[in-house]
Structure 1
Amino acid sequence: MAIFRSSFSLKIMVEEARKLTEHAGVHERIDTVLRIMGEGYGGTYGKGRPLVNALEDVAQACLLHEEFPLAQRFQRFAGYAGGKLFLDTVEHYYDAKARQRSEEFMRRMAAMGSDRAVSALEALCAENPDASVTDALALFRGIARSTNHLSIGDGEGGIQLPAKYLKRLQQFGHMELILRDLPRPASAETARMMNEFLEDADAGMLAQLLELRARRAGLASLRAAVDRPDSSETVIHACLKNQEWIFGGAFVSELARRQYTPDTILDIPLLRGDGSLHVVELKRANIEKLAIRPSGQLMLGAPVHHAVSQTQNYLRILDEGRETILARYGVDTRRASATVVIGHSQYVSGGVTPQEVADTLRTYNTHLARIEVITYETLLESAERMLALSSAEHVSGQAEGYTA
């Protein structure tokens, strides 16, 4: 069951975000959000699915105007309104004062922990003046193990904590994870070299490196899901979320809204550079009868024809609702195109080779106008080539920079 949220803080952040754009279409959608939230009489603001949808509509309008940071902001607002994000998380990004309060709290907690550590060491030295580093390590390991026995009582012989303190404990746990992930140079010399590198590094170069690393991680996750025979469409969809680059450079971004008519929920709606829609329909990778040979000649099996027919119906419905969708959401669905991703040659039975699967699909696609059918094998190989090209361009750019 969804837990919908709304608050005065969200309304303030939405009002502040409105000042960051000059596009009338975005303003209209933000005003719709504010109307749904209302004036907050009695401390209650409008919430529910209408608010989530309205916030997602703002994000989509921002994407159409290439205001990507603002689109991400409203996607996070929608995540909070839909119960997926805590308010503290959203405030951390967009409320400077709230972020400062959180940082101050973490600093105090870190200082408190350090102070307690010093006190523990002083007590150890007082009891055992000859204590060694090994003794100190044993002491702190014992303290760490003892925390496993700490718990929050229910009020009967325990401690009943208010919700705000429970949230503080969550924040402390988050801070601990951050501290654990800090890089630890092997030596002072390594630390010095890292500092010098970071001082001289170009911010754009670092951003590209991080993007390449994130893409490699996303691709590895998708490959692992495809290689698991029991992976469902839902699992694969999760791996492809916000990974529009995998489908090629013709797409600007993945749209936040997946439903444009009552009868269709799209797997991955992509926005082309000209503002038109491209639909990606995902099916399972483990399709045994992807290609069959019933009478000596290879042909595609029933699962492919079923997926294509389903996608054809989607495109027909989008064509028929083009005027309404364009006026309401700003997306042109007339003559939208589609890609069906289905199957992998490793799961095909009957001794059919990967090359035969590729040839059969190539022949099939030549007879389709607006829909292309590809396998996950083709998708992964294409994405790998794009990554390799991006890496090569990055290395080339570095070399030119050093030469200059």
Structure 2
Amino acid sequence: MGFATFAQTLVDRITKVREARRQRNLSAAELGRLLAERNVSPTELGRTIAGLADVGGVVSGITSTDEGRLAVDVDVIRRRREAVAELRELVLNPATTEAEIQKMIGRRYWIFGGHYTGVLDRRNAVPLDQHDIPLVCADRSIHIVELKRPGHQLVKPHRNHLIVSNEVHEAVGQCMNYIRALDELGAGLETLHRNELGVVYDYRRVKGTVVIGHPELCATDSVAGEQIEQTIRSYNAHLSRVQVLTYAELVDSAERALQFEAEEH
């Protein structure tokens, strides 16, 4: 198909869609579905939508079709993969600060998994404390994420074995203090925030995650990455409401969540 024929085909489709809407008195949502089903090009589709009053209704109509939903899903996955790639590059730099990582993650709660539905608007929900990323779980409970530098040491030798580093111990202690404060003040905060702010969260039995270090930045000739992972796994086995996660685990998990394989029949 030559360019002239292709262009004329697009014009004809747009004209037919507009005429159909005029004759059938289509709603904005119905027009959106019709545009999606007729495979109108993104450029022409954008121009058509921009000229309408009820843009939200048209978008709703487009996303109500299988084709529209697929296009939206593909775009979301693409942007999320780009964000994960950016995070991976950031955490492989030993000079990266906690503030830089926090800014990059922002409100991308999905990086931490499918258990979460958002991020608290208030990082200082508890007096004296400021949480890096207070995640909201599906049941409205809270999960505190404490971010540390990816360049922090994760393990150190102790006698004939490895144990987690002082940086890991201190970060876990910090997260435990956050949890203790919410245990003590949670009931009052829940009532205060519901009555004064109109938000309802469950502050009882909060859990936490410390994200710290990267095995690739800590591994040496005498300490392999696998040994670091085993040491942290052993340490986590003795914890209850706090877990330690490396940036390698966080990024790998986020990447796996965005990989889709064909279903087996």
Q: Decide: shared fold, TM above 0.5.
A: yes
Which structure: greater strand fraction?
2
1:327 counterpart residue number: 191
Q: 2: distance between equivalents of 1:188 and 1:352?
A: 65
Q: Distance in 1 between matches of 2:184 and 2:124?
A: 15
Shift of 1:197: 5.9
3-state SS of 1:328 partner:
helix
Asked whether the equivalents of residues 325 and 331 of structure 1 are also in contact (C-alpha less than 8 Å), the reply is: no
Equivalent residue in structure 2 for 1:374, among 220, 245, 265: 245
Correspondence for 1:359 among 230, 236, 258: 230
CA contact (8 A) 1:276 1:336 kept: yes
Aligned amino acid, residue 357 of structure 1: I
CA contact (8 A) 1:269 1:277 kept: yes
> What SS class does the counterpart of residue 182 from structure 2 fall into?
helix
Quote the Cα distance in structure 1 between the aligned partners of 2:124 and 2:105: 18
Whether the aligned pair in 2 keeps the contact of 1:325 and 1:332 (CA below 8 Å) is no
Q: 1:201 to 1:333 in 2, by over 3 A?
A: closer
Offset, 1:349: 4.7
Alignment partner, residue 337 of structure 1: 207
Aligned residue pair count: 207
Q: Structure 2: which 5+ residue stretches go unaligned?
A: 11-37, 46-64, 194-199
Separation in 2 of the partners of 1:190 and 1:311? 60
Q: Give the structure-2-normalised TM-score.
A: 0.72
Identity of aligned residues (%): 36
Structure with the higher helix share, 1 or 2:
1
**TM-score when normalising by structure 1:** 0.48
Give the match for residue 276 of structure 1: 141
Deviation at 1:328, TM superposition (A): 2.1
* Moved segments of 4+, more than 3 Å: 187-201
Q: 1:327 to 1:189 in 2, by over 3 A?
A: farther
Task: State the structure with bigger RCO (CA 8 A, min sep 6), 1 or 2.
Answer: 2
1:230 to 87, 91, 95: 95
Distance in 2 (CA, whole Å) between partners of 1:283 and 1:257 is: 20
SS at match of 2:90: helix
Structure 2 vs 1, CA of residues 201 and 326 (structure 1 numbering), >3 Å: closer, same or farther?
closer
Which digits, 9 at most, give the CA deviation of each residue in 1:340-396, with x for residues without a partner? 10000111154321211111111111100000101000011111110103xx37xx6
1:209-237 per-residue CA deviation (whole Å, 9 max, x = no partner) reads 11101211111111111122211000011
| 1:312 and 2:176 aligned | yes
Counterpart of 1:388 in 2: which secondary structure? coil
Alignment of 1:174-193 (within 5 A): none
Corresponding residue of 2:159: 295
The alignment status of 1:240 with 2:240, answered yes or no, reads no
The Cα shift of 1:251 comes to: 0.8
Aligned to 1:85: none
Q: Matches of 1:189 and 1:283 in 2, distance apart? A: 58
